[in-house]
Amino acid sequence: MDAKNLNLDFIYTDWSLIETRFDPEKIHQRETVFTIGNGYLGTRGTFEESYPRATTATLLQGVYDDVPIVYTELANCPDWLPLTVSIDGDRFRLDRGEVIGYERKLDLRRAVLSRFIRWRSPNGKTVDLQFDRFASLADPHILCLRCQIKPVDFSGLIEVQASINGYPENQGFNHWELIDQGKHHQNAWLHLRTRGSRISLGIATGLTVTDAEASLQINNSPGYPTLIAAFQGTSGQAVTVEKMVTIFTSRDVENPLEAAQEKLTTLPPYPILLKEHQQAWEQIWDQSDVAVEGDVRAALAIRYNLFQLLIAAPQNDDKVSIPAKTLSGFGYRGHVFWDTEIFILPLFIYTQPALARNLLTYRYHTIAGARRKAIHYGYKGAMYSWESADTGDEVTPRWLPPNDPYGDDIRIWCRDREIHISADIAYAMWYYWLVTGDDEWMRDYGAEIILDTAVFWGSRVEYNTKYERYEICGVIGADEYHELANNNAFNNRMVQWHLEKAIHTQDWLREKYPDKAKELEEKLQLTLSRRLRWQDIIANLWIPYDAKTGLIEQADGFFQLEDINLADYEPRTKSMQSILGIEAANKRQVLKQPDVLMLLYLMRESEEFPYSLEVLAKNWNYYAPRTDITYGSSLGPAIHGILASDLGKSEEAYGYFMQAAMVDIEDVRGNADDGIHAASAGGVWQAVVFGFGGIKLTENGPVATPHLPKGWKRLQFKLYWRGDWHEFDLKGETETMEAQNTNMSESSGQTPIKGVIFDLDGVLTDTAEYHYRAWQRLADEEGLPFNRQANEELRGVSRRESLLKIIGDKHYSEAQMQAMMERKNRYYVESIENISPDDLLPGALDLLKELRSAGIKIALGSASKNARPVVEKLGIGEYIDAIADGFSVQQPKPAPDLFLFAAKELGLEPGQCIVVEDAGAGVEAALAAGMRAVGLGPVDRVGEATVVLPSLAGVNWRDLQASLNGLVLQN
């Protein structure tokens, strides 16, 4: 995988992930990345007009259906996205015609997915298309799609077809049978039913066209009803098409089709639906947001991972949970693992307790399946399934077909041996109760689960008469590379902990709710002898811990297995189990994911045995080098990041954290096609809050002991504790100017120059006149004083700072200012439409070519948010290695952030870079970043630069380098 190219595909802002080009080779990964949802359903980021090989999917919570091999899976539901646009008979598709401009943006704050394309048809007609879609959080049964169509260089017939695809497949398997379809009040609808589970679904759609006279027809093709609108497009005039969709299932209402039809006919206009949706998200983000200053890439990655979990959490349904791949793909078939309780739930417990309650109550509704599994294996109580779906019965495949067509089927032992999940569920319930104080839920739901799973452990534990101790043999621990372990430390200590809490729960019930205690004691047969057995197990269950060395043996005999040096296998792109084989990995000291370290993490908060910082350090030194943290499991990096942070290994901690945070956006593991790594996403939140924020729980609530990563200036988040909200605003260590800025007189001639960072406006091309005209037009419309002299003060200044200078003391709301900046930008974009390579300033192209020949890295450092399209129009993209623009950092020039970001993207130290600027603010920013500066223009404007030149005309690299090293001032 080429991580550099992936980075070039994206622009990261604090709240938006922006894709700058379409790469067909990454189509499936990007479908996952651009998933949207609302807790009721999730829709992958496929295109409205379709694309060859696309993996289209809309998955609804709880809509499971039977399927061979994997027992049951979330059924892919009818596709609500299809919307095609035809230009005088040429159908728009990205694999046809010419894509002139492309941008796709996921706005996390508003939960809206947008896409802009400038497309030239095979017949040479150019059109601008702006798509926007969202799944309403205000009403989960509403889906909205809008397309704005603007002919650029023609007038002619435009046809739009909006459809529902009633033939969805789960990788070749169709779960649906069509019951009926039809039209109703210019709307179309479908009524389907799953083949095995008999869940019926009703879906309806309507289409409106504004700013044009359109004819509307309905084509009722079997299983594919389509609304067709046709109208005359006029050059330069945009037409808006809005597609509304409503969807219900028999899990929600008795008659889902009737409910879908009724809701569709009473929908308010698109802007109102969007506003209600945004308001719902404002409430969510108010509680769950995590804000980072000083690291835009990390800030976006954190919010992205939170977003993907928030859109998978059921708002109004406590009979479902969050699958391991959320609702974003077919990986793990929509099954629920321990991922939800251990990795995902902490985010919800501390920021969305009502959603956490729903997720935990799912386990109560599926306890019958856990009891059936216990009976099947010959045990008592409730034995939760490793993979669970709607009933709680075990749905882990017993066998899987091999990748080799001549190989043997692969036995999946997790269903039989990975039993720690019952303790994991109890652990999550205990912390939900601890944090929320929700006694009512614990009384009515949680206590029964904690107690009945304790009954299971009492029957599963074995007594070893030779050693006079209890043991648990034949298990798989958290590390899944070892498929038959005896006395796995993680498993045994979690069982011991679980039984301790079960006794506490029973005592609490007896004291506070004696009637409920009596009811459960009779129902679960909680006799005195059973309780005494629990106490005996707690006292005598074997935990393989050596007090002398501080080491915990992962399982009996683990230290006697063949050792391994993972560095011997680098570089690699697959897991150690794939390299070694299942049996060989079983015989070596290699871990898929943290096991002993996972146990220490779970005991870290309460500092219960065997956790201590000293024990952590000793076990980290042993187990971390033996853990396949890169390709073993996505569950590992975040946990390693937290523990490394505890141990003062800040650089390692940040590396693990970013590995987890970017696992889907940058496809770190190469398997994002299958869906979002939900456990990793939950781990990211824990890494930030518990790791970098250093949150610990006390009797008075959470307390922070922060150790922020280098460069993080600020970390803000909220936590819920017993009815109150605690706001944390943590500051990083202040970096002194001396640390960033070198003395140029001392460093000149010593530090070799390996990178050149160019400003854009006034350096490579002159778009200042376009900016001036756009600002002047805005100022005239608003009645603000502005002229060319005032415009000079805006040179090198960000759009926001420029607006603030223009409006002066006049008051505008934030919304008004945002609208004004967007308006100015629109004027500017319109005006630069015809920029070409001829607009490069004299000397610019020659210097770029010379730098490229000399092996010097080149970056663009421009405050403009339109830098990328301008570079494209100038035809110099092949010379630019990295772009730092208005989307890259928060603080504009004269802050050094933009140039520091550019240097980082080039992989260089600041002192190895020079900056070419034409503005005083830019020169100041370069010097503050510890870089030498070349100032273009008059001395009174750029005189603080290391070297001052009138322009780039006639400048060559050899002479410029000599001037910089000799501190020669040229005028």
Q: Which residues are catalytic?
A: 480
Q: What's the order of all strands across the beta sheet hosting 290-293?
A: 290-293, 714-721, 724-731
Spatial CA neighbour of 560 closest among 610, 631, 486, 492: 486
Cα of 361 vs its chain's centroid, Å: 26
Query: Are the beta carbons of 75 and 64 closer than 8 angstroms?
Result: yes
Contacts with 720 (C-beta within 8 Å, 6 or more apart), sequence order: 287, 349, 350, 351, 353, 435, 436, 726
Q: How far apart are CA 946 and CA 105, in angstroms?
A: 39
Structure-derived torsion over alpha carbons of residues 279, 284, 286, 292, reported in degrees to the nearest 10: -120
If you ran DSSP here, which 8-state letter would residue 15 be given? S
Spatial CA neighbour of 763 closest among 690, 860, 866, 678: 860
Q: How far apart are CA 450 and CA 269, in angstroms?
A: 48
3-state class of 80 per DSSP? coil
Query: Are the beta carbons of 714 and 292 closer than 8 angstroms?
Result: yes
Q: How far apart are CA 177 and CA 166, in angstroms?
A: 9
3-state class of 549 per DSSP? coil
Q: How many CA atoms lie within 13 A of 299 on its CB side?
A: 24
Structure-derived torsion over alpha carbons of residues 791, 781, 16, 96, reported in degrees to the nearest 10: -100
For 71, 164, 168, 202, 243, the CA distances from 192, given in Å and listed in that order, are 21, 12, 11, 7, 21
* Cis peptide bond prior to 950, omega within 30° of 0: no
Q: SS3 sequence, 150-193? A: EECCCCEEEEEEEECECCCCECCECCEEEEEEEEECCEEEEEEE
Q: How far apart are CA 633 and CA 555, in angstroms?
A: 20
* Token pair of 117 as six digits: 């394309």
Task: Specify the pairing of strand 224-233 against strand 755-758.
Answer: unpaired
**DSSP of 668-688:** TTS-GGG---HHHHHHHHHII
Spatial CA neighbour of 147 closest among 166, 164, 165, 128: 128
* Token pair of 96 as six digits: 């046809």
Q: How far apart are CA 90 and CA 198, in angstroms?
A: 41
